[in-house]
Amino acid sequence: MTEPRPRAQSAMKSGDAHLKAYFSDEAERRQVTQVMFNEAATGYDRAEALTALGSGSWYRREVLRREGLKPGMHVLDVAAGTGLVTAEALALAGPQGRVVALDPSPGMLAELRRKLSCETVEAYAEAIPLPDAQVDFLSMGYALRHVGDMDKAFAEYLRVLKPGGKACIMEISRPASWLGRMLLKLHIGAMVPLMARLSGRHTDVKRLWAYYGDTIEAAVDPDTVLDALRRAGFQDVRCGVTLGIFREYTGTRAQP
């Protein structure tokens, strides 16, 4: 008798009330989120800058540098979006390095290619179309919440990393206090879309940023992410936190 496949471990809590207004299953989630990302692509960078109050670029580069991204490395940036993390990886890897940006949204990748010169791949984190042991460093910036199956994604991350390679996943987590959660949701879901619209950007990012706020509320706890990384086979699994909400999940592929 064939044993049933274990239930996919999503990066968001199964059946969370915050998500019911958007989709009912994984297939619908992929359809709905791709539409949201495609529609918001040209206004995404402006909205992100408002969200991070202008500090996003410095912070992303500092995280990548601190976690070991060096000149000459081959880097895969998963869920690259418009290339905000990709740009910092390109700067750190330098002319001798190689950076590949992967994302399922054609609209986001089109915006990335408008700004940056690097290889791009349209695909999901759970099915990366690269050979085994290809990259020295894998990054993912604030997109883990959009992964439908962490076990599949992390298994893919381990597969494409060279022995000794490192994965670095940046993410936003819920503030510990009720007041902190409400202020963060107000900032992301209401203030940022309003400021983006007033700034004259023609793309309406309101729906996507409201979804962002809801996914932060619905995200699984950090221990669940760490357990999934260990299940995939990562070693030296860690989670750093800055200002109580910015997390860096890291793990390495073992040397033979």
What one-letter code names the amino acid at 70? Answer: K
Q: Count CA atoms within 13 Å of residue 182 on its CB side.
A: 3
Q: Give 5's pLDDT tier (boundaries 50, 70, 90).
A: very low
- Asked whether residue 10 carries a pLDDT value surpassing 60, the answer given is yes
Task: Reduce the DSSP state of residue 239 to 3 states and report it.
Answer: strand
Residue 207: CB atoms within 10 Å: 15
pLDDT of residue 246: 87
Average pLDDT of the residues in 16-41: 86
* Residue 2, pLDDT score: 41
Residue of 53, 124, 136 whose CA lies nearest to 94: 136
- The predicted pLDDT at position 64 comes to 97
User: Which stretch of DSSP H or E encloses residue 30?
Assistant: helix 26-51
Burial of residue 162 (number of CB atoms within 10 Å: 0-12, 13-18, 19+): middle
The answer to whether 143 touches 137, Cβ cutoff 8 Å, is no
101-143 pLDDT tens trace: 999 999 999 999 999 999 999 999 999 999 999 999 999 999 9
What is the band of 4 on the pLDDT scale with cuts at 50, 70, 90? very low
pLDDT tens profile 179-195 = 666 766 666 666 666 66
At CA 48, angle to CA 44 and CA 54, rounded to 5?
140
The chain-wide mean pLDDT, for the chain, equals 86
**8 A C-beta contact, residue 72 and residue 97:** yes
| Domain covering 53-174+221-252, topology | Rossmann fold (3.40.50)
Q: Which pLDDT score is estimated for 128?
A: 98
d(CA 37, CA 238): 30
Residue-range domain boundaries for the chain: 53-174+221-252
pLDDT above 70: residue 75: yes
